[in-house]
Amino acid sequence: MVSDQNSGTATSRAMSERAFEIEKKSFEIIDSEIGNHGYTQLQWPIVRRVIHATADFDFAGKGKILFHAKAIESAFNAIMNKCTIVTDVDMLLAAVNKKSIADLGLRTTCYISDDKVAEEARRYGRTRSEVAMRHAASEMDGGIVAIGNAPTALNEVIKMIREDVSKPALVVGIPVGFVSAPESKAELAKMDLPFITNVGRKGGSPAASSIMNAILLLYQKKKSSV
């Protein structure tokens, strides 16, 4: 008789293999439907993972994802230096792959739910997202900032960079929304600082976390091939 523990292990392994096959088939469908895309060898796995997470092919078309020339290189250097990943919301923080974070010795942080942040936001009539970014200034410096929800957070990060308060190694700015989201991303795209963003209203935590997870996987693949 197979023990419950062995049976559970076998089931877990089978589910993992099944999930891998589903993901692989999904990527094949995306590759087939997109065809020629114009992204580089390192950029395309990131864009493809966003499409996989959202089922939205606009991210390769009119919602095109934009990469600063040094975005991936700078992200890899930050990861090598054991950077902190700062997110705008807890949902995005929760979606960044925990095993990759642990394996690479990285830290993640988000201050959106911090009591001090909430109090300061009420006192000064600011959004919690804006205040949370200020609270993360030191961790953001040399780190990676991932914003998927709040355009006000992205605008605050841009302001902090221009004020020399902080200098992230990479800003993943892909907030979703109708108010300020397209404008904040357009402003980020003008900056001479490593960024990944997109055009228009679309975005969100699933898109931002998929970008982060793709970068972590690319770094791990590069590291294992050396």
Catalytic residues: 52
Query: Is there a contact between 143 and 85 (Cβ–Cβ < 8 Å)?
Result: yes
Residue 196 and residue 44 in contact, taking contact as beta carbons nearer than 8 Å: no
Reported residue count of the chain is 226
Could you give the angle at which helices 128-135 and 151-162 cross, rounded to 10 degrees? 40
